[in-house]
Structure 1
Amino acid sequence: MLSIVYGVLSLPLLLYCSAKLLGSAKAPNTFARGYVLRNRVTHQRLLPEPSSHRFVYPTVCLLVSLSALERGALDVGRGWLFGYGGVFGRLTGLRPGPYLAAGGSSGNGSSTIRERLVRVLTPRFGNAAELLEDAWMMTMPSFLGFEGINPLTVYFCYKSTGEFWSCVLEIHNTFGESHVHVLEVGQREDAPPSGSVAADGILWSGIPNQQSADRYDHQWTFRREFHVSPFNDRSGFYTVAIKRPNHPPMAPPSDNKFPLPVVRVQLYTDSDSGSAQDSPGPLKLVAVLRCTSSAPLTAPSLLSALLWAPLGLLLSFPRILYHAWILHYVKRLDVFLRPEPFPANPDWAAGATNPPKLPQPAGVKWQSEGILERSAKRRVVSFLRQRAGATGISVSLVSADPATPREDFPLPSGGDSKAGRHLQIDYLAPRFFTILFLSPSATHALLLGHTSDKVFFPSSAELFLEVFSAPLSSVSPLSAAQQARLQGLPHSLKHSLALPIPPTHPLDFGWNTTVTWFMVKLLRALEEVERGIFSIARARPVKGDEPWKQWERAEHALTSREEFSTLGREQEGYEHGSVRSG
């Protein structure tokens, strides 16, 4: 292990010496289209006060022109020290895969970062392809083939005139999901930006910025919509202030200085005044990404930065785990479990029964479905292909993830449409399929997946029950798989007259009974394993948010007849985070 660490630490030093000897430090003939940035990242949690926490650490990132990057003009050392298009076979690199939404006009996921950025900007600006001349992309590259978590990637977008017109923040979490905020210059800005680069720099690290007299250029306040930290729910507001690069990527700087961008993110709780909670409340958390020095992207500057913070590109996730351990076990903050991301389509579930209230769509990446979710989905798809003709009800499945294509199950040619009855099911995540498979009846699935946990939204509850119901029998015994499904359910959900249980599950017909029983038992066992891991680790989810209590939540929804109109649940007994107040 030590030899690996020594190798990682010594490689940049050897390469740096070689670059110096080979004269790679010659100044470029033209202005730089890429820079190596040395940064100080600072975080301070202010609320709840007993759990306040603060840390500072150095990072290395790149500021690159997208146009120059994608035509290979920024490759260093013939692409071996730094290159675009892949991560293997080079010291550092960038590729489109981790950034923004996959796909493209060809649908094969081979689109460039610029094409993906245009696709993000188009819903807001329409003619984004014409407006966007170039953009600075500020991000952390891969190192020795390893792509760490990029908590924040920033795109500074410019018109052909050199005018800075929008800023795109791409936020990544540890679950492989990402979200964007498109911030337009001159639109919904806070004026003037509060605070200054100098004040933040001295406050956090005691080191003044080279542009210490400057204030932030722009500031916006908007609602929080994405799950990033397990110690915050999705409520509240962000206030983001930026100091943009001092020149566009298409033109040299007028002051002969290198860019020193700064991004400050402040998280505010919802206001306590009024029921709408549409204004920021107390300041909860502050984070600042502050560039302390920059240099044109060359072999010596890149290697020198890696020597300055040799493990910086590898430590994002370990640092997250370390500070999460402090907040949970030392500061006693409970964990908000990951909610499903908000849909990308603003019209998603618009025709559903009790449609959810949705924010501005901005999700770009979702978790991929697991093996068992994929297996359950195959059963649902196979069932619906036959069921549409039997019931005269056509069905559509619409995912919140735009990368998952819509699936339609029309009636067979010449079939009776029964006055054109159509069921559309909008679902947030592949968990929808395991809920259908594990619930002992369609009524149970509707209670858990729609009324309680809000994972899916049918256009008609009646049509949903008609499509997914199985024949009832008072004499036929329950199948082994059905008996396994009932294990762990509260007594009231097993014996309620409102929740009749068929002897055989509709998704079990035509499948091997032993395989079905094993799959049910495996999914139930995994639920218990998750509970056991939390118990062994002494991890504490926010009360009422425990995954293994999903059926208890469903029981509560049944007995109280509660109806929810928004995605997610407000947690009771918590203030300014996840410290229990009662």
Structure 2
Amino acid sequence: MDPSDTLVTRPLIPIQASSIHPIDLILPPLLIGLSLMIFDIQSKKLTRKASSNSHLFINQTLHARFLPSSSAHQFKYSLIQFGLDLDHLESAQLDIPHLFRFAKPANSPPLATRLRQFFDLSNWLKCIQIFSISPSSYFKNTNQTHSIKQSLFNQLEATFGIDDPHEKIGKVYLLSMPTYLGFTSINPLSIYFCYQKPTDPSDPIHPPLKYVVLDVQNTFSERHSYLLQVGINELPNTQSGFQHEWIIPRAFHVSPFNDRSGSYKISLSDPFSNAKPDVQSDISLKFKIIFLTESGEKKFFATLNGTGKPLTTSNLIRIWSRYPIVLFLTSLRILYESFKLHMGKPRLDVYPRPEPVFDQEHAFKGPNPIQQGGHIGATGWQEPDWCSRWAQQIVVDYLTRRREDQPVGSHPCPKNSPDTELTSLGSFVNLADEKVPASEEEEGEQQPSGRSERPSIVTVILQPADQTQATIEIAPSPDNEGSESGMVHETLTIQYGSAGFFTDLLVFPTPSIAQLVGDETEAAWKVSSMALFDRVFENSFVRQYQPLGSGPSPPPVRLSKTRAFVAGLINGLRRFYFRWLLSFITPEDRNLAQIRRRSSWFPPPNFVAIDGPFECDSSPIDRPGLLADLSLALRILILLINTISAELFSFFLFSHLFRFRFVDSKQPWLRLKRAIFRANRIPFNVPDLDRRIGSLRHPS
């Protein structure tokens, strides 16, 4: 018998397959990965200079409200903040593997490299980062720089007019909350301490504080900066325990329970006033902000105090182990305290979000003006959503077709007298059959006109307040411009705070009505010339801009059944939306003397009949889609469905489901009512309490 036939093999460790659990397969790789991470962490030690100029803070913040007195409220909590020398941060001197790093965006490698990295275990381990700081979470600018310090310098130069900040400022110390496990929470306040650039870098004395920049962020991801200059506009007598103190006017919407009036009293101390350069030691943070009403009453205050430990591996691990979830709680705390202020005993009503101010004239218009002297502009704006981007493409396409299809240079400038040569398609009111008496025409001709009767060429500039968005310029083609060299050159500039400007042009029956609401009333955008705006947006396709006596206008174009059906849906949606906005005008409003004697909600030429249901024709912006490109009309239809349904859903959510209470007259769905009251010079004010202290307690 062959011995191999009777050979029996047994495993060295007798383990049955049924006894193997998933943990036996998962745990070994995890332990190996953890060992590699610990090895990486131990292999990196920060230099004494780097760790002594950057710190870890466990700060205590206290918030207390005093006005209205019946809504007094206070709370406090702890939060983790990092104090970082930006030069050390951005040069990767503070990077600790898997614990903290400066998350500078990297260029995308080729596909083959990405695939190779995907199957490399070490790359997966590098992705594990507990804390990080990313430039995208701070200032935004057109230079697309990945340096927070350079972005700060750009803001100081462009926004605050400080020339050559890199020649005046050396060290910049940023106090902010980091990104935690890939989650970036709201950063209500980031403080930049800017120190004077030393003439001798080897000087053992810490350079003096020169500027302080307070970068405020609200829950809408908008940012606004306040500049404090040491020795300039400081209060002569500071509070005990503080070295510097300023009073600055407010200009930014932060809390939904306050308007934008009043001022801030800022008290702070230089955290490095007692520190020795390059010596590892604790530093102290002392910061206080008092919210003052227009009359100077103390309405609210917040403090931020703490001790900063040098940024070392051991201190970082210690803070992480003691406060593992603190950085997840900031947004939740804001929502919780807001709920208590609104639904609880304080019973404060809500101010809806206003657009950040972008123009000095518009800063004091709209339902929520800023404090006199407040700084114009913002350092961070809301990103446009897909709906706003679609609307922008549609409007730009409309203006581009206008430039290509209609030779702008051949149009004479319109008179200031009302133009009645409107066709039914594209006009808000059909004036085709109306005749102007000859006497009125003669009077209109005799009146002095601010506009030239010479033909003109119009350039349209769409200028966003957000500097990271491109300015769009739509000018006549070079051929037309060259052939019409003897004509007057005119420019229509439209400034807007957000891309909602483009949506306004599409959801309202005509661009002129949108201008009355968005520009004149809400101050969300600004038109440089109403005459040019009317000429470009409303009269472009419906008025042929032919010289008087040059011949009849082309007859209306008959639409196919499909295009007529789409046009009917678009008009029906606008009609429904406009009627819904008009439904908030009460019978008491209709009986007001200023309205009772009128037949239109708006003065001429925007006739909107008070009696009878509202009707509208196609907007001029619809015409390219209805005549040439059906897909464009379908995009307008989808955009209207989304925008109108979102506003209706918000109304149901806030008014009926959650029963949120807005400050009377400030509700977003009352913007048409505000425009009508403004056009008829009817006061649409809020109670005296609101104007006095900038907050309103519900009486119930």
Q: Please state which band the TM-score falls in when normalised by the shorter chain.
A: 0.7 to 0.9
Once residues 288 and 320 of structure 2 are traced to their aligned partners in structure 1, the CA distance between those partners, rounded to angstroms, is: 24
Once residues 301 and 464 of structure 1 are traced to their aligned partners in structure 2, the CA distance between those partners, rounded to angstroms, is: 61
Report the residue type matching 1:463 in the other structure.
Answer: L
- Tell me the SS of whatever aligns to 2:78: strand
Match of 2:71 in 1: 51
Match of 2:658 in 1: 537
Once residues 228 and 26 of structure 1 are traced to their aligned partners in structure 2, the CA distance between those partners, rounded to angstroms, is: 38
Q: After the TM superposition, which residues 55-66 of structure 1 pair with which residues of structure 2 at under 5 Å, given as runs? A: 55-66=75-86
Q: After the TM superposition, which residues 202-281 of structure 1 pair with which residues of structure 2 at under 5 Å, given as runs? A: 215-247=241-273, 251-252=277-278, 257-271=281-295, 281=296
Once residues 294 and 270 of structure 1 are traced to their aligned partners in structure 2, the CA distance between those partners, rounded to angstroms, is: 36
Normalising by the residue count of structure 2, what TM-score does the alignment of the two structures yield? 0.68
Once residues 272 and 518 of structure 2 are traced to their aligned partners in structure 1, the CA distance between those partners, rounded to angstroms, is: 51
- Tell me the SS of whatever aligns to 1:230: coil
For residue 408 of structure 1, the aligned residue among 462, 473, 482 is: 473
- Tell me the SS of whatever aligns to 1:261: strand
* 1:486 lines up with 2:510 in the alignment: no
RMSD over equivalenced CA pairs, Å:
3.5
Q: CA deviation at 1:307?
A: 2.9
- Tell me the SS of whatever aligns to 2:166: helix
Match of 2:460 in 1: 395
For residue 117 of structure 1, the aligned residue among 152, 160, 166 is: 152
Once residues 482 and 556 of structure 1 are traced to their aligned partners in structure 2, the CA distance between those partners, rounded to angstroms, is: 25
Q: Is the 8 A contact 2:193 2:213 kept in 1?
A: yes
Summarize deviations over 1:210-248 as a string: whole Å, max 9, x none.
xxxxx2111111001111111111110001111221259
Match of 1:33 in 2: 53
For residue 435 of structure 1, the aligned residue among 467, 489, 504 is: 504
* 1:361 lines up with 2:387 in the alignment: no
- Tell me the SS of whatever aligns to 2:316: helix
Moved more, 39-48 or 504-513: 504-513
Q: Structure 1 residues 571 and 299, CA, compared in 2 at 3 Å: closer, same or farther? A: farther
* 1:83 lines up with 2:83 in the alignment: no
Q: Structure 1 residues 570 and 114, CA, compared in 2 at 3 Å: closer, same or farther? A: farther
Report the residue type matching 1:320 in the other structure.
Answer: I
Match of 2:624 in 1: 510
Q: CA deviation at 1:30?
A: 7.7
Q: Structure 1 residues 25 and 448, CA, compared in 2 at 3 Å: closer, same or farther? A: closer
Gaps (5+ residues) in structure 1? 1-13, 197-214, 272-280, 350-354
Q: CA deviation at 1:581?
A: 6.5
Q: Is the 8 A contact 1:36 1:297 kept in 2?
A: yes
Once residues 171 and 490 of structure 1 are traced to their aligned partners in structure 2, the CA distance between those partners, rounded to angstroms, is: 37
Report the residue type matching 2:311 in the other structure.
Answer: L
Summarize deviations over 1:497-532 as a string: whole Å, max 9, x none.
642586321111232344433432332211110101
Q: Is the 8 A contact 2:581 2:670 kept in 1?
A: no
Gaps (5+ residues) in structure 2? 1-33, 106-126, 199-206, 364-368, 412-456, 544-554, 559-563, 584-598, 608-614
Once residues 169 and 48 of structure 2 are traced to their aligned partners in structure 1, the CA distance between those partners, rounded to angstroms, is: 26
Once residues 306 and 316 of structure 1 are traced to their aligned partners in structure 2, the CA distance between those partners, rounded to angstroms, is: 16
Once residues 313 and 29 of structure 1 are traced to their aligned partners in structure 2, the CA distance between those partners, rounded to angstroms, is: 27
Report the residue type matching 2:529 in the other structure.
Answer: S
Once residues 234 and 342 of structure 2 are traced to their aligned partners in structure 1, the CA distance between those partners, rounded to angstroms, is: 35
Q: CA deviation at 1:570?
A: 7.1
Q: Is the 8 A contact 1:58 1:309 kept in 2?
A: no
Q: Structure 1 residues 572 and 490, CA, compared in 2 at 3 Å: closer, same or farther? A: farther
Q: CA deviation at 1:346?
A: 7.0
Q: CA deviation at 1:452?
A: 1.6
Moved more, 157-166 or 229-238: 157-166
- Tell me the SS of whatever aligns to 1:365: coil
Match of 2:673 in 1: 552
Once residues 524 and 212 of structure 2 are traced to their aligned partners in structure 1, the CA distance between those partners, rounded to angstroms, is: 32
Identity of aligned residues (%): 27
Once residues 680 and 178 of structure 2 are traced to their aligned partners in structure 1, the CA distance between those partners, rounded to angstroms, is: 52
Match of 1:326 in 2: 340
Q: Is the 8 A contact 1:342 1:358 kept in 2?
A: no
Once residues 165 and 432 of structure 1 are traced to their aligned partners in structure 2, the CA distance between those partners, rounded to angstroms, is: 39
Q: Is the 8 A contact 2:581 2:669 kept in 1?
A: no
Match of 1:180 in 2: 225
Once residues 264 and 434 of structure 1 are traced to their aligned partners in structure 2, the CA distance between those partners, rounded to angstroms, is: 41
Match of 2:237 in 1: 192
Q: Structure 1 residues 30 and 63, CA, compared in 2 at 3 Å: closer, same or farther? A: closer
Match of 1:338 in 2: 353
For residue 95 of structure 1, the aligned residue among 134, 137, 143 is: 134
Once residues 491 and 141 of structure 2 are traced to their aligned partners in structure 1, the CA distance between those partners, rounded to angstroms, is: 31
More helix as a share of residues: 2
Match of 1:153 in 2: 190
Match of 1:499 in 2: 606
- Tell me the SS of whatever aligns to 1:339: coil
Q: Is the 8 A contact 1:65 1:249 kept in 2?
A: no
Moved more, 242-251 or 388-397: 242-251
Report the residue type matching 1:98 in the other structure.
Answer: S
Q: Structure 1 residues 71 and 555, CA, compared in 2 at 3 Å: closer, same or farther? A: same
Q: CA deviation at 1:553?
A: 1.6
Match of 2:639 in 1: 519
Summarize deviations over 1:287-327 as a string: whole Å, max 9, x none.
00101x32211122112122332221111100000000000
Q: Is the 8 A contact 1:134 1:250 kept in 2?
A: no
- Tell me the SS of whatever aligns to 1:420: strand
Summarize deviations over 1:508-561 as a string: whole Å, max 9, x none.
123234443343233221111010110201111111111122222222223227
Once residues 29 and 422 of structure 1 are traced to their aligned partners in structure 2, the CA distance between those partners, rounded to angstroms, is: 56
Match of 1:205 in 2: none
Summarize deviations over 1:190-220 as a string: whole Å, max 9, x none.
12212x3xxxxxxxxxxxxxxxxxx211111
For residue 295 of structure 1, the aligned residue among 286, 309, 320 is: 309
For residue 454 of structure 1, the aligned residue among 513, 523, 529 is: 523
Larger radius of gyration: 2
Report the residue type matching 1:509 in the other structure.
Answer: R
Moved more, 82-91 or 392-401: 82-91
Q: Structure 1 residues 573 and 498, CA, compared in 2 at 3 Å: closer, same or farther? A: farther
Match of 2:27 in 1: none
Q: Structure 1 residues 449 and 499, CA, compared in 2 at 3 Å: closer, same or farther? A: same
Normalising by the residue count of structure 1, what TM-score does the alignment of the two structures yield? 0.81
Q: Structure 1 residues 428 and 561, CA, compared in 2 at 3 Å: closer, same or farther? A: farther
Once residues 63 and 249 of structure 1 are traced to their aligned partners in structure 2, the CA distance between those partners, rounded to angstroms, is: 14
Moved more, 35-44 or 446-455: 446-455
More strand as a share of residues: 1
Once residues 60 and 529 of structure 1 are traced to their aligned partners in structure 2, the CA distance between those partners, rounded to angstroms, is: 37
Q: CA deviation at 1:493?
A: 6.5
